Amino acid sequence: MTRRAWLRLATPVALLCAALLAACGDRSWNGKDISHLMPALEFELTDESGAVVDQSLFAGRPVAIYFGFTECPDVCPMTLAKLTAAARRLPPGPRERLQLAFVSVDPARDTPARLADYTEAFSDAMLGLTGSQAQLQALTRRYRITYGYEEPDAQGNYEVSHSSAIFVFNESLEAELMLLDNLSIDQMHSDLERLLEDG
């Protein structure tokens, strides 16, 4: 290849590299940016101690919320295990600021005491919440998600369908990110780290 041909090739290659670098430096998240799509956090629920609480409980702290139920053997522990592993890798400052919350959409079975045992197994930073159907519906509708109950079996066990995403809010409780279940721990961690740096 002549020197001229090399030069001719070099320009598009350099441009491509520059474009790739710019793309990597872009403010793109692994999760979905919901900052202009979803409203700020607002709820009234019951916490692990049985006390009625609202969003002011989390004021001043970024919070990551997952909706599920404790009799969920697969996807809930999987997602909460990923979230807690991602949070544990944060530097001490951001790690202590980040609040994790598990909202059970199965209040008939998930009593405050049961939620306390459940969240304790994952992280000290995780708080269990639940509420009446009206309270849970108000919160889930706010974030355009749903939940539902399937027919109980002969023993009275029933399945619950629920959202598979983690919703992340900043310390002003404004919606920031939706972390989908298919993200790796690394991807969740890098999103959380960046969000907490900005905060």
Residues engaged in binding other proteins (CB under 8 A): 70-75, 77-78, 81-82, 84-85, 114, 117-118, 120-122, 145-146, 150, 155, 157, 159, 161-165, 180-182, 185
Nearer to other proteins, 25 or 148 (CB): 148
- Least distance between other proteins and beta carbon 86 (Å): 11
For residues 196 and 20, give the distance between their C-alpha atoms in angstroms, rounded to a whole number.
Answer: 25
Nearer to other proteins, 116 or 199 (CB): 116
- Least distance between other proteins and beta carbon 168 (Å): 15
DSSP string, 36-67: TTSPPP--EEEETTS-EEEGGGGTTS-EEEEE
- Least distance between other proteins and beta carbon 31 (Å): 12
Nearer to other proteins, 45 or 179 (CB): 179
Quickly tell me which residue has 């959409």 as its tokens: 105
What's the start-to-end Cα distance of the chain, in Å? 53
Nearer to other proteins, 114 or 171 (CB): 114
Query: What torsion do the CA atoms of 176, 182, 163, 86 make, to the nearest 10 degrees?
Result: -60
